[in-house]
Amino acid sequence: MFKWGLQRLRENDPSLTELDLSNSDIGDEGVNSLSDALRTNTSLTRLRLDNNDIGDDGVKILSDALRTNTSLTELYLGENNIGADGAKSLSDALRENTSLTALDLSYNKIRAEGVNSLSDALRENTSLTELNLYRNKIGAGGAKSLGDALLENTSLTYLGLTDNSIGDEGVNSLSSTLHTNTSLTELDLNGNSIGDGGVKSLSDALRTNTSLTELGLDDNNIGDGGVKSLSDALRTNTSLTKLGLRKNKIGDEGVKSLSDALHENTSLTALDLSSNKFGDAGAKSLSDALRTNTSLTKLKLSSKNIGAEGIEALRAVLSQKGSIINTVIFRNNEMERYGERNKWAHKKAREAVIAILKIGNLWDPEDDRFEPRDDDSDFEKFLHQTGSEQRKSYFFQSAKELWNTRHDPVWWTEAEREEAKRVLEENKLVQTCIASHICDNKAILMEVSDPTQVFCSSYCQFMHYTGAPDLRGMNVEQIKRALS
């Protein structure tokens, strides 16, 4: 594989844009040959050299090549023997290189000294957007260097610092940066011995930060006090969409604080609370929050302290909830199945929406936003853009309103609706819909003071007020006839 890849690099084969030489035992000598080829190659964009026994000497030669190479955008050097000297060589290259956007140095030995060199380079480099330093023993000192650099750097969007022993001191330095940094969107701080004090600093930053969308705090020492600070921040923060709190020390009080915040927060879409210490009380608090929360789509929970009452409370709400498409809950197959049900429902809604867009000549089959995937954020952004003439059309407005109904039980199968109704009756939660006398879809989880004044489904409301026909299950031709 190595000789084959090296030969194609030397020939500057335009079809070779990605090369994976991980686990090839090439060492510094192999890197020397690769570097010679990279100096003249103009087609390779991604190079993986993980686990190759590459040391500082090899990285120095590779760094020299990066000074002149203008095509490589992603470089993976994880699980090698790179130390502070190797990091310095890379840093010197980053001051001149303008094409590299992603650099992975995970599982090496660069420590704080090496990070100091990288941090100096980040002050000048404007192309690097992703930097992974997983398990490099950078400590609090390394975190401080990075934090200082990010006060000036405006290009880095992802910073991975898992398992680096930065502690509360290191988090405090990074948190100070987050008050002003506007480019960082993902911060991975898993496994760093962070306690409540460090989370308080992060929480203070989240009150003003508007760019961070993903925050990883798994496998730390965060307890109820830290989660309370974080929850207070979530009440006002509108940018964070993904929060990882797996394997901490969060009890019932912490989950209650977080649940109270979820009643107000409208941006968080993914939450991981697995392997914590909360029990039935925490599960019930979270269940109450899920009834009204409208943004969460992915939820992971597991705790050996949750008993039958907590499980039933979660089951009652998740059986009715149409928005959560990905659930992993104490390996409970029934509740995980609700996520699969919702995923298929969203797919059916998406197909109906695309059918309407096709009829209105508003659908571009080459646009990857229309490709089905678990995360529909790009598709949703497209449907909620405003300003162009096409978005004033009847077809576009109909598609937009129909997409807003994707969480409704009307998209479930009849058997799935019957199951949800049965769970409602078991938990004495059945309420009445204003259209129940003309509709077979029974009211599902309407938390309102006077349920007789609302529809159980925004889809029903959409059809009632627009006069639109029921488009579920129709193909393009059938929808065309129905709308004509």
And the tokens for 195?
């306690």
Looking at residue 220, what is its pLDDT? 98
* 442 band by pLDDT with thresholds 50, 70 and 90: very low
Judged by DSSP in three states, 35 sits in helix
Contact 249, 227 (CB under 8 A): no
DSSP annotation of 104: E
- How far apart CA 124 and CA 68 sit, in angstroms, is 17
Interatomic CA distance for residues 54 and 217, integer angstroms: 31
Q: Are 257 and 285 in contact (CB under 8 A)?
A: no
pLDDT in tens, 250-263: 999 999 999 999 99
What is residue 421's predicted lDDT score, i.e. its pLDDT?
80
CATH 3.80.10.10 residue ranges in the chain? 2-341
pTM for this one?
Answer: 0.87
Task: Say whether pLDDT at 103 is over 60.
Answer: yes
pLDDT at residue 76, rounded to an integer = 98
Superfamily per CATH, domain 2-341: Ribonuclease Inhibitor (3.80.10.10)
pLDDT of residue 356: 83
Residue 462 pLDDT more than 70? no
Q: Which residues contact 391 (CB under 8 A, 6 or more apart)?
A: 385, 397
